[in-house]
Homo-oligomer: A and B are copies of this chain.
Amino acid sequence: MAAKTYTRFTAAEGVENALKMLEGRWKLIILFHLFGGRVMRFSELERAIPEVSQKMLIQQLRQMETDGIVCRTVYPEVPPKVEYGLTEWGQALCPALDALLTWAEEGPAIPAGAPDHSSRSIT
Q: Which chain A residues have a beta carbon within 8 Å of chain B's beta carbons?
A: 4, 6, 8-9, 11-12, 14-19, 22-23, 28-29, 31-33, 35, 62, 65-69, 71-76, 87-89, 92-93, 95-97, 99-111, 116-123
Contact = CB atoms under 8 A, between A and B. Distances in A.
Given A107-B89, A117-B72, A29 B8 contact: yes
The 10 closest A-B pairs by CB, nearest first: A68-B108, A18-B104, A96-B99, A8-B32, A12-B28, A99-B99, A18-B100, A12-B29, A72-B119, A12-B32
A74 B120 contact: yes
B103 A18 contact: yes
A14 B103 CA distance: 10
A110 B68 CA distance: 7
Most buried by B among A31, A65, A96: A96
A12 B122 CA distance: 40
A101 B15 contact: yes
Contacts of A110: 68
Contacts of A68: 107-111, 118
Contact of A72 (B95, B100, B120): B120
